[in-house]
Structure 1
Amino acid sequence: DSYRQVGRISDAIIIEEQVVTDTERVLGPEHPNTLTARGNLASSYWHASSYWQAGRISDAVTIFEQVVTDTERLLGPEHPDTLTARGNLADSYRQVGRISDAITIEEQVVTGIERVLGPEHPNTLIVRGNLADSYWQAGRISDAFTIFEQVVTETERLLGPEYDLTRAVVDALSALAQNPPDA
């Protein structure tokens, strides 16, 4: 993560690939930590992944798809790690222009995460914001604004106006308002 933050993407990829290899060797290919290491190779929670920044988009999507498959099988469809993996897959689909696929997954993730973590959990708010972004990219402007406004209201109420997540959502809503999608 440190290498990625300072722009040393190639170094970050090498280390993440080694972590995956070592974790698979020591813990096995189906251990939850191995799945996490694979997911980390393809992305970081709020940061762009090494693969995205290095232009290895198809590699990242393939890893995300495999992590989702393995996590669902090993932990179940509504485990928080499974929901996170699905959310990451949806984000990767959005990044490559597969907006319809992203929306389908994100709608399921929102329902699942609300049930598992509750409607006011910060991760729930993040997932709702991601769904709003996908709606925006799909040209569903009204739906996107409705969700973003709800997320802003909830994050301000629950976390305060100065919390990083609140500021990020407010900034995203402002940016979207200034840059409507090509329709």
Structure 2
Amino acid sequence: MSVRKYSKFQQRLTPHANYVRHRDRPGNDIAVWGAFHGLGDLYSDQGKLREVEEMYQRALVGKEKAIGPNHTSTLYTVHNLGALYSDQGKLKEAEEMFHQALAGREKALGPDHTSTLTTVNNLSDLYRDQGKLQEAEEMFHRALAGCERAGPRS
């Protein structure tokens, strides 16, 4: 889909997103919580950071209740909240989210899974931004070693 068509598509989705966003009781349906995460992604593409945070937080609370805090879908939302907090300059909150995502992903997916390594890399960037250069270097080396073990992607 071209950028122009995607932009028009997003404009058409926004009123529906706003309707869903204001629902009081979405229930315990994982598809609904996944939709809230997707709405966060939609708002992120539009630069609406307050709405992104609201959607990701609602998705996280719902997913934790519906499927548990260590499910890979829940951890995906935790990771994205970490990235959002990092972008907002909320470095302490970002670090907490990335550590939670990393611990869960290591356990659920293993230390060399691409999702785990993405969290390792984002944590490296965060440490660098915080001036924690030794921790950043350790994480960068870990991410590199994991990628090398994983081998080339086709």
TM-score by length of 2: 0.83
* Residue 120 (structure 1) aligned to one of 112, 116, 129: 112
Which secondary structure does the structure 1 equivalent of 2:66 belong to?
A: helix
Structure 2 segments unaligned to the other structure (5+ residues): none
CA shift digits 1:38-77 (9 cap, x unpaired): 212212xxxxxx4234231101111111111111111111
User: Structure 1 residues 53-62 or 76-85, which shifts more?
Assistant: 53-62
- Contact 1:78/1:112 (<8 A) preserved: yes
Q: Does 1:34 align with 2:26?
A: no
Partner of 2:58: 66
Distance in 2, matches of 1:151 and 1:17, equals: 40
Number of equivalenced pairs: 150
Contact 2:127–2:136 (CA<8 Å) still a contact in 1? yes
Question: 1: distance between equivalents of 2:133 and 2:8?
Answer: 38
- Label 1:117 to 1:20 Cα distance change in 2 as closer, same or farther (>3 A): farther
Is the Cα–Cα contact under 8 Å of residues 33 and 63 in structure 2 kept in the other structure? yes
2:13 to 11, 15, 40: 15
Q: Relative contact order (C-alpha < 8 Å, sep 6+): which is higher?
A: 2
* TM-score scaled by length of structure 1: 0.71
Hey, what does 2:135 align to over in structure 1?
143
Q: Secondary structure at the match of 2:150?
A: helix
Distance 1:11 1:86 in 2: 27
Provide the C-alpha distance between the structure 2 equivalents of 1:36 and 1:17, rounded to a whole number of angstroms.
18
Cα distance, 1:95 vs structure 2: 1.1
Q: Which sections of structure 1, spanning at least 5 residues, go unmatched? A: 44-49, 165-183
- Given the alignment of the two structures, is residue 99 of structure 1 paired with residue 91 of structure 2, yes or no? yes
1:8-50 CA deviation, whole Å, 9 max, x = no partner?
A: 435315326637968xx9xx6432122222212212xxxxxx4
Contact 2:127–2:133 (8 Å) recurs in 1: yes
The amino acid that maps onto 1:65 is Q
Choose 149-158 or 101-110, whichever is displaced more: 149-158
